[in-house]
Structure 1
Amino acid sequence: MDLYKLHASNPHIFQQFSVKDILFLYYKCPQKEKILQLYSSYNQFVFSLKGGKIFHQGDRRYKVDKDSSYLFRRAGFLQEMSDDTQGWELLAFYLKDDYLKKIFDDFRRHLPLNELPVTPKEMMVRISINDRIRECYLSIIPYFNQRESLPEEIIEIKLKELLYNIFVNPENRNILSYINSLADGYQTPVWQVMESNYMYNLKLSEYAHLANRSLSAFKRDFMEYYGVTPGRWLASKRLKRAKTLIETTQKTIGEIAFENGFSNLSHFCRVFKDKYGITPTECRN
């Protein structure tokens, strides 16, 4: 499920407005299922106001709670409900690469760009919040209840102020390193995208989107690196990871199938037996 499309197409659930290439969101998460499999096709800045969620990407686990904030990079992930009963209330912004590049270039001469750390590869990069940053994002919330039309220039100024204060905070050099890599035209290698996201049930076009490539360019780069088709590689990687989880965890077979990109349990059992000569249950026993 594409999180951006889910949000943008349901304004009655996710309070929102848009300015240029930015989608502004302020809502209480309506999630009912224990775990959802999602993917984000754009950069997202998320500011948690109440409650929280747990996110899984591959073998990494991220806990988002009250007053924590993150940059979500394009990626597939699992979103799990936390034990917090009050629900998750958040403010979020979807920003396309080109818009982030423009803002970065506007601020470049004011930013501390010397000796930046290595560009982070994690799906979620924590944003360190100080009083100025907190005041900036909280000041945007009243605009969601304003009925008259909003001057785009005012909203964009508020967002630029927020991004600038994030960028210049010395505790956010990982964020600055990532934005700097975008501005310098760095293209994430196909292998890096695939090794982090192969366990999610995505279409090839969606993997191409995560890799910021056209479908044809994605297939070409994939074949050049791996030497096999994406379909064969994905099936092999997912089954291998599923077998490891069957042998080393107490998760149910259904949970393991779901967490490795198989939406149909009977199909998973069939291809697992074709690969290993035994069923998932026999493998566990």
Structure 2
Amino acid sequence: MREVSPQHNILYSCAGEVKAGHDHFVHEHSLSFVISGIAEYYTDNGMVSYPSGSLCLFRRNQLLRILKKPLDGKPFTAITIFLDQETLKKHSLKFHIKSDGIYTGEPNVLLDNDAFMKGYFASLMPYFAQSGKLTPILEQAKTTEAIELLLRNPSLKSFLFDFSKPHKIDLEAYMNSHFSYNVPVAQFAKLTGRSLSSFKRDFEGIFHTSPEKWMQKRRLEMAYFLISQKRIKPSDVYLEVGFQNLSHFSRVFKKEFKINASAL
């Protein structure tokens, strides 16, 4: 997989093979355009498929599992614009744009890829053909352009300019639904509206063990079920349940259940 990011806000991705098992904590809002191939995003509401030509706006502070696939002999390619909070706050102050309130809409919005958006992304392609040509000033200008293009849709104002922090939510319910995502404990703390210390304190009060030990046990239990009952191969399971390395998964699985995963 090749990724070109001349600066930190604009990323060009190219994958010649299926790229799976990418658990992603979305730190900032991101605008993503699929040039070729197909992207499958697995969220709380199931899987959504984005073929070439799709344009989607993803909201910050959420977990996504992504599968990137080549299609029809073409690699998966995409351009993503990261709309970070600092940039949006400066834009808000400079142009006196404020949110209408706390955003309560969908976290991922499929946008109309109209002539303006097509022209915008086409204008970025020459910069990636010649790596390093997108200077910081140009990047800033292109990021501002993306924001202004999005604001043609008034409903996106609250999406972009709601700067409120995640509120404190039911930790037990959230963790039981999201334990298979392989992201740092600090990200789970943020997603549940807590500091890291309060997250660990609340977690141990509910589950009577550390987050790391609890999540590994839950992931192994899920793996055991999928392999023994659903007859899914260990090589297809380890990523799904939150492990990044097959050999590590095999080792801790055997330690937990006293049997090789492949022997079930």
- TM-score with structure 1 length normalisation? 0.67
1:161 to partner: Cα distance: 1.6
Q: Which residue of 1 aligns with 2:67?
A: 79
Instruction: Show the 5 A alignment for 1:1-285.
Output: 13-18=2-7, 23-27=9-13, 29-32=14-17, 35-43=20-28, 44-57=30-43, 60-72=46-58, 73=60, 74-103=62-91, 106=95, 108=97, 113=100, 118-120=104-106, 124-144=108-128, 145=130, 147=133, 149=135, 151=137, 154-165=141-152, 167-168=153-154, 173=155, 178-179=159-160, 182-187=162-167, 189=169, 191=171, 194-195=175-176, 197-208=178-189, 214-223=195-204, 226=207, 228-246=209-227, 248-262=229-243, 263=245, 264-273=248-257, 280=261
AA partner of residue 183 (structure 1): F
Q: 2: CA distance between counterparts of 1:211 and 1:141? A: 38
Structure number with the higher helix fraction is 1
Aligned length: 253
Query: Which range is displaced more, 81-90 or 55-64?
Result: 55-64
Q: 1:34 to 1:131 in 2, by over 3 A?
A: closer
8 Å CA contact retained: 1:52, 1:87:
no
Q: 1:249 to 1:31 in 2, by over 3 A?
A: farther
8 Å CA contact retained: 2:15, 2:77:
no
Q: 2: CA distance between counterparts of 1:158 and 1:261? A: 37
SS at match of 2:65: strand
Q: 2: CA distance between counterparts of 1:206 and 1:223? A: 17
8 Å CA contact retained: 2:36, 2:53:
yes
Q: 1:63 to 1:281 in 2, by over 3 A?
A: same
AA partner of residue 136 (structure 1): Y
Q: 1:148 to 1:128 in 2, by over 3 A?
A: closer
8 Å CA contact retained: 1:53, 1:65:
yes
8 Å CA contact retained: 2:39, 2:66:
no
SS at match of 2:197: helix
8 Å CA contact retained: 2:21, 2:239:
no
8 Å CA contact retained: 2:103, 2:159:
no
Q: 2: CA distance between counterparts of 1:135 and 1:31? A: 25
Q: 2: CA distance between counterparts of 1:155 and 1:244? A: 48
8 Å CA contact retained: 2:37, 2:68:
no
SS at match of 2:215: helix
Q: 1: CA distance between counterparts of 2:104 and 2:12? A: 32
1:47 to partner: Cα distance: 0.8
Q: 2: CA distance between counterparts of 1:55 and 1:138? A: 24
Q: 2: CA distance between counterparts of 1:108 and 1:148? A: 27
1:241 to partner: Cα distance: 2.6
Sequence identity (%): 20
Q: 1: CA distance between counterparts of 2:70 and 2:151? A: 32
